[in-house]
Chains A and B, each alone.
Chain A
Amino acid sequence: MNPSNPPQAAEYGGDEVSAIVLDPGYSTTRAGFAGEDAPKSLIPTYYGKYNADGQEKLVFGDDIFVTPRPGLSIYNPIGKDGIVEDWDMAEKVWEHSFISRLTGTRAGNPFQNGLNDVSADELPTEMEVESEEKPLSDSPLLMTEPGWNPAKAREKTIEIAMEKWDTPAFYLARTGVLAAFASGKASALVIDIGASNISVTPIHDGMILKRGVQHSPLGGDYISSQIKAIFKANSPQPITITPHYLISSKSAVEAGQPPQVKYKTFPADKAPDASYRALLEERTLSEFKECVVQVWPGPTRLSAPSPTGVSNEDMARTTPGRPFEFPDGYNQVFGVDRFRAVESLFDAKAAIPDPDSAFPPPTPAQTIPELVKASLAGVDVDLRPHLLANVVVTGGSSLLYGFTDRLNHELMQMFPGPRVRVTAPGNTSERRFGSWIGGSILASLGTFHQMWISKKEYEEHGPNIVEKRCK
């Protein structure tokens, strides 16, 4: 290769566009290009609103965790059951998720993007009319939805994709199906432990078995409320979480001693409101869940006596506690309490009562074992052994330490006959983004091309086409 030789003239002439996969959850929204192994963009579904200079301003993305703003309040466009409530804002949050890291604001007029040599007089003058470019006009879009998404919400979703974002092709897939694909299974029983919901979805040959879909609100947020109940009843003193933004500096204190801390004060009209504080408390709680909380490994429940005759709870007391330090410097060792926070996911009676909690006490039917039972009851008896041999665990809250062990025990006790096999990806990001990864696989398959709903078909049949095509 001689440096003075001009390069060959051959140039790229193709037009390869990879689809965008958008996986909107209650707590986070994931977006990325199909074919990649993790979403490039991960933003909170929460957004902030505040007033500055007499104007209402919206904040999206991680910024809400980092920068406190005057009078900031936090909202979530998605309801507790995982179904969109505020469509206008959901559209904005979703749009932010792919604009910020993937598509950018459109580069705009191809005549002016510097790639084309167009002489000045050739430039069409009316190009300004088209300045309002839509964000997805050249990327197909695959979106996900929970298994219990109502038909209305599905139609609204395709409407946004086609009309507001101008996507040339669209598909809507169930999170459960995709999570099964991510584990390389076409048939599976998917147990998804999310932030606002836990769900059990039976999948057969890539199709969702609708009658078997079960969900309940005992997700990560519920666990947070249980932890708060523990903090409230803590001895020697109840623990309050003061998020970092309210603390100016702290000094080290001994375990169990009251914190020595300098607080920050905001003028009353400027202080962020309670929803902001709750959001940041949740940050500390998720750190607590990562560091301290543990699922009682079983095989029997925490309240049950162990085979040795000592109760499991006493057994748990003998295990060493784990220390945790709060943002204000207060620190303490947590012993048996760290098992109790999640026990009610398996045993409704073990729930820690807290009259102030936003969550009503769980019913037995809402626990994971009962959901699985109900789900299997809704599917054909011949399919059950196959499903139990292919249990897939996904969702961020399933990363709680010891969760899969316990689940395994519970399932084996409940279904002693058939072989139970629990699959849980070891990699944190595969667990958290299971449905996104499944979508990434699906949308990059060559055979998937025929599944897309094209813009033309949408225009012919209207939003109802999603009911016919995305089953």
Chain B
Amino acid sequence: MGRKSNQRKSSGARSHHSSQRSSLPLITMPPFKDEHILLIAPGSQMTLAQLGLPETFTPARFRFPTRMFPAEKKGEYEPYRVLERRQEVKVNNGTDTKPDVEMKDAESAADGTTVKTDENTQNNDESTKTIEEVFYEEDLASDEGAIYPIENGRIVDWPCFFALLTHIHNTLSPPFHTPIMLVGQPVWSARDREAITQFVFEKFKAPAFSLMDSALAACYGYGTPTATVVDVGKGKVDVTAVTDFAVNEHGRGIALEGCGGDAMTDRLVELLGPKGFTREMCEQLKRSNITEILPPGTPLPGSSATARQGANPAAVASTGGSEGDESAPRGPGDGTQTGIEGDNGDDDEGVLDVAAIVSGNPTEYLANVEKEKTTTKKGAADPKGTRLPNSKKEKASFQFEEFVPVEGEKAAAHGARQYTRRTRDIEVSVERFLLTSPRSKVGNRLTSGILEDIATQIHHTILAVPDATKRSELWDSLIIVGCGSKVKGFTQALLAVITQKFILSPSGTIFTSEIPSNFTTPLPTGANTPAPGQMYHPSAAGVNPLLVAATHNNPGMPGTPSMDPGMLSHYRSTGHSQTPTSVKTLKLPEYFPDFKDQGNSNAPGASGGSAGGNPGASGTSQGGHGIEEAIFLGAQMAAKVFFVIDQGLSKGYMSRVEYNESGPSAIHEYIL
């Protein structure tokens, strides 16, 4: 490793950096190249990955579902479900070699999760008596039998997790000289981190490895040294206070269960389940544009809290490519969700579901089909309802999509699985605003809704930060990331809950900020008795005691002999003021246009007027991945800094040399 290469980085903009630095005798590592850096960010649902850093940072180029399927041989794993099919007729297109990786361009959904499909059983039943051939077929759409190696951030199945890493590594196939950065979940224990380090160095032979804490990555993404990072995931929430680029381990909220996106879906299922909604419907409803979390105290529109399923079964129209399209099974991987990117539009063109227009909310439907003309059409179609923002409407509908196996002769003869996409509109009442309300029967917690749980954790975490002078800044620098936070209104509602529970009243706090101590107080010489005018008279009428307190807020006590002046100044954990006096979220830097938009994922029904009416919603545009993936953006920035710009000076990564010398436990000196 000690060999110095004469290779220079190609990037001109930073060459002066590297030449400056490499003149230092400390350097042992040659510079890494932008295009060789491999980033992996595992999550419970999706693992983001990317090889190489682009010119301007973009959302992750690859998204792998965090799951594997057991292979035929025990202990081995396949990335797709493999079906064994016996058949007498030989078919050419039985196997599909499409990569499971969802390319960014074709990808549209927020986490791009596959839509669950019904199991197509007919294939397996077909074991006929005639001479048969065995086909192995990868079923891209099914997740039956899948093993999810990460649950609530914890690695529950190590062999499967390692198989997933290997699969990602193989798919991206980086060159040998590829440093790897992995974004680590807060819940991973020290031993977990060591095991991963060992695996990366020994399996991938990486020359350098960096294991970055996800909260810190979020801070890099936002370009701030101090922040409170709230990561709302699928099943859990992490709350971390970061001060001066250091994670405060004590009091950190790690993998708070029952507070993530699933909890919101669960609540919708609880509310709507009796009305015939499936979990999948609720999941899509949660992601749709009509679902919104209203700040506490906001009256719900309308009076009745009943919902009805708008479209009757007869109104369901099949719009998918069922006829004349026999090519590939329409796996959910390739751009299946409608209304998000323009290229999907042609599928639906001309198949206007008249029944849905009649029975459902015509505005929503038309708005979806022809987004361009939304405003004019709306005005014509529904003159009184359109101007209302979504939060004022009692009822709204969203477009539900599902994949159903194609039935009929053709499919049966063909053998291969085919799915068709069906969409229909479903109307929902005010339940769509209640997804963070407390569930009625939860056995093990006296919950008041997930927002309050998260707010309490934030309060606990910030209060546990030892440097009390930083707490106020932490309250003013919330970073909310994670897909669970994408539900419209989440951030505003969370801030509102914090405000009504924890914010100190101004009367108690307005004067408490540390005021310069050069006010006149008797010097501690003992010679001069305090003048009566400077005394604090609790009984004095008309004097606001707080004003007195503030103007006399002088830590220098009368009668204090100065003992060791250094002693007084260098610890000051007490005598500070209470927090929070305010709470704010941080803004993502504007120079990453790709991360700018907070996208609502499966959002077919663009609700009328919400974009203009609610400035807090920050221009909800559809498609793509927004600031909820700031962690990945931060990982790219950190990788650039650690691997390219400072080349190891900041101890941002562990090199192979160090690994060989000290073993996996040395990673703790580099964990960021």
Most buried by B among A115, A291, A319, A431: A319
In the complex, the answer to whether B577 meets A318 with C-beta atoms within 8 Å is no
A405 touches B568 (CB 8 A): yes
Beta-carbon contact of B508 and A325 below 8 Å: yes
Assess the B444–A69 pair: CB atoms within 8 A: yes
Whether A401 touches B574, Cβ cut-off 8 Å, given contacts A297-B560, A312-B559, A325-B508, is yes
A376 contacts B by Cβ under 8 Å: no
Please, what's the 1-or-0 string for B193-222, where 1 marks a CB less than 8 Å from any CB in chain A? 001001101110101000000000000000
Q: What 1/0 mask marks residues of chain B from 153 to 195 whose CB sits below 8 Å from any chain A CB?
A: 0000011011100000000000111100000000011111001
Contact with B along A1-30 (1 / 0, CB 8 A): 111111110111011111000000000000
Q: CA of A324 to CA of B550 in the docked complex: distance in angstroms? A: 13
> Shortest beta-carbon distance, A469 to chain B, in Å?
27
Q: Which residues of B contact A294 (CB under 8 A)?
A: 574-575
Whole-angstrom distance from the CB of A95 to the nearest CB of chain B? 13
Q: How far is the CA of A119 from the CA of B365 in the complex (A)?
A: 57
Smallest distance from the beta carbon of B563 to chain A beta carbons, Å? 5
B665 close to A18 (CB less than 8 A): yes
A62 part of interface (Cβ distance < 8 Å):
yes
Q: Are A114 and B175 in contact (CB under 8 A)?
A: no
* B668 and A36 within 8 A (CB): yes
**A107 and B191 in contact, given A1-B177, A3-B36, A319-B558 (Cβ under 8 angstroms):** yes
Q: Is the CB of B505 within 8 A of A329?
A: yes
Specify which chain B residues have a CB less than 8 angstroms from the CB of A447 in the assembled complex: none
Whether the Cβ atoms of B296 and A249 lie closer than 8 Å is yes
The verdict on A365 contacting chain B, using a C-beta distance below 8 Å, is no
B153 to chain A minimum Cβ distance, whole angstroms, is 12
Nearest to B499 among chain A residues (CB) is A249
The reply on A377 being an interface residue by CB < 8 A is no
Interface centre among B551, B554, B577 (most CB of A within 10 A): B577
Q: Give the complex CA separation of A317 and B530 in angstroms.
A: 11
CB-CB contacts of A63-89 with B at 8 A, as 1s and 0s? 001111110000000000000000000
A142-165 to B contact mask, C-beta < 8 Å, 1/0 = 000000000000000000000000
**B contact residues around A450 at 8 Å (CB):** none
Q: Is B189 within 8 A of A320, CB to CB?
A: no
Distance in angstroms between the alpha carbons of A271 and B162 in the assembled complex: 44
CB–CB A2/B202 < 8 A:
no
Q: Which of A1, A53, A120, A315 has the most CB of B within 10 A?
A: A1
The B-contacting residues of A in range 321-366, CB under 8 angstroms, are 321-325, 329, 331, 333, 335
Question: Which chain B residues (344-384) contact chain A, with CB distance < 8 Å?
Answer: none
Q: What string of 1s and 0s marks CB contacts (under 8 Å) between B430-462 and chain A?
A: 000000000000011111100001001101100
Given known contacts A40-B190, A319-B552, A287 and B578 CB-to-CB distance under 8 angstroms: yes
CB contacts under 8 Å to A, within B377-424, are none
How far apart sit A255 and B448, CA to CA, in the bound complex (Å)? 29
Kindly specify which of B54-62, B78-86, B247-255, B310-318 makes contact with the partner chain: B247-255
A93 to B26, CA, bound (A): 45
Known interface pairs A8-B1, A114-B158. Does A401 touch B176 (Cβ–Cβ under 8 Å)?
Answer: no
Given contacts A325-B508, A424-B567, A428-B466, contact A244 B574 (CB under 8 A): no
Secondary structure at the B interface, as helix, strand, loop or mixed, is loop
A206 near B: Cβ within 8 Å?
no
Interface flags for A392-428 (1: CB within 8 Å of B; 0: not) read 0000000111101100110000000000000011111
Q: Which residues of A contact B509 (CB under 8 A)?
A: 323, 325
Instruction: Give the residue name and chain of the A residue nearest to B74 (CB).
Output: A120
Chain B residues lying within 8 Å of A272, measured Cβ to Cβ, are: 446
Q: Are B453 and A66 in contact (CB under 8 A)?
A: yes
Least CB distance, A259 to chain B, in whole angstroms: 10
For residue B16, which residues in chain A have a CB less than 8 angstroms away from its CB?
Answer: none
B567 touches A404 (CB 8 A): yes
Q: Which residues of A contact B448 (CB under 8 A)?
A: 248, 264
Tell me if B575 and A426 are in contact (CB < 8 A): no
A3/B177 in contact, CB under 8 A: yes
Chain A residue with Cβ nearest B77: A114
Q: How far is the CA of A308 from the CA of B191 in the complex (A)?
A: 63
| Residue with the greatest number of chain B CB neighbours at <10 A, chosen from A12, A17, A33, A112 | A12
Minimum CB–CB distance for A54 against chain B, Å:
10
Q: A111's closest neighbor in chain B, by CB?
A: B75
Chain-A contact segment, one of B113-121, B285-293, B656-664: B656-664
Interface of A is mostly: loop
Stretch at the interface among A96-104, A173-181, A226-234, A382-390: A96-104
Quick one: which of B159, B203, B446 contacts A69, CB cutoff 8 A?
B446
Contact, CB under 8 Å: A426 / B656? no
Assuming A1-B3, A40-B249, is B195 touching A113 (CB within 8 A)? yes
B660 adjacent to A5 (CB under 8 Å): no
Any A CB within 8 A of the CB of B472: no
Interface size on B, residues (CB 8 A): 109
**How many Å lie between the Cα of A214 and that of B216 in the bound state?**
45
In Å, the complex CA distance between A322 and B514 comes to 11
- Residues on the B chain within 8 Å of A427, using CB: 571
Q: Which residue in chain B gives the minimum CB-CB distance to A114?
A: B162
Given A270-B446, A320-B552, does the pair A101, B456 have CB atoms closer than 8 Å?
A: no
Out of A36, A70, A409, which one reaches B446, CB within 8 Å? A70
Q: Which of B558-590 contact A (CB under 8 A)?
A: 558-561, 563, 567-568, 570-578
Q: Is B65 close to A, CB under 8 A?
A: no
Q: Does B512 contact A (CB under 8 A)?
A: yes
For window 74-119 of chain B, which residues contact chain A by CB distance below 8 Å? 74-75
* Residue on B nearest A102 in the bound complex, by CB: B190
- Whole-angstrom distance from the CB of B526 to the nearest CB of chain A? 5
Is there an interface contact between A323 and B508, defined as CB atoms closer than 8 Å?
yes
Which of the residues A102, A112, A293, A312 comes within 8 Å of B159, measured between beta carbons?
Answer: A112
**A14: B residues at CB distance < 8 A:** 661-663
Cβ contact within 8 Å between A250 and B500: yes
- Residues of chain A within 8 A of B568, CB atoms compared: 405
Query: Is A114 a contact of B571 with CB atoms below 8 Å?
Result: no
Q: Tell which of A272, A290, A399 has the most Cβ of chain B within 10 Å.
A: A290
Q: Is B304 an interface residue (CB 8 A)?
A: no
Q: Which residues of A contact B526 (CB under 8 A)?
A: 306-308
**When the two chains form their complex, are residues B444 and A1 in contact, meaning their CB atoms are under 8 A apart?**
no
B360 CB to closest chain A CB (Å) equals 37
Cβ–Cβ contact B571 & A431, under 8 A:
yes
Given contacts A244-B501, A249-B296, contact A320 B559 (CB under 8 A): no
Q: How far is the CA of A202 from the CA of B522 in the complex (A)?
A: 40
Interface: A452 (CB within 8 A)? no
**Is A127 an interface residue when CB atoms closer than 8 A count as contact?**
no
In the complex, which residues of chain A have a beta carbon less than 8 angstroms from the beta carbon of B664?
12
- Chain A residue numbers with a CB within 8 Å of B567 are 404-405, 424, 426
Residues of A within 8 A of B518 (CB): none
Q: Across the interface, which residues of A come within 8 angstroms of B560, CB to CB?
A: 297, 405
**B265 close to A (CB within 8 Å):** no
- Contact present for B663 and A15 (CB under 8 Å): yes
A189 CB → nearest B CB, Å? 18
Interface residues of B (CB under 8 A from A): 1, 3, 5, 7, 30, 33, 36, 73-75, 158-159, 161-163, 175-178, 188-192, 195, 198-199, 201-203, 205, 207, 249-253, 256, 296, 443-448, 453, 456-457, 459-460, 463-464, 466-468, 500-502, 504-509, 511-512, 521, 526, 529-530, 534-536, 538, 545-546, 548-554, 557-561, 563, 567-568, 570-578, 656, 659-665, 668
A residues sitting closer than 8 Å to B (CB atoms) are 1-8, 10-12, 14-18, 33, 36, 38, 40-42, 50, 52-53, 57, 62, 65-70, 99-104, 107-108, 112-115, 120, 123, 244-245, 247-255, 264, 266, 270-272, 283, 287, 289-291, 293-294, 297-299, 306-308, 310, 312, 315, 317-325, 329, 331, 333, 335, 399-402, 404-405, 408-409, 424-429, 431-432
What are 27 A-B contacts defined by CB distance under 8 Å?
A1-B3, A2-B7, A2-B177, A4-B175, A11-B202, A12-B660, A14-B662, A33-B665, A36-B668, A38-B249, A69-B445, A99-B189, A113-B159, A114-B199, A115-B202, A115-B203, A251-B505, A255-B508, A283-B463, A291-B574, A294-B575, A312-B559, A317-B535, A320-B553, A325-B509, A404-B567, A409-B561
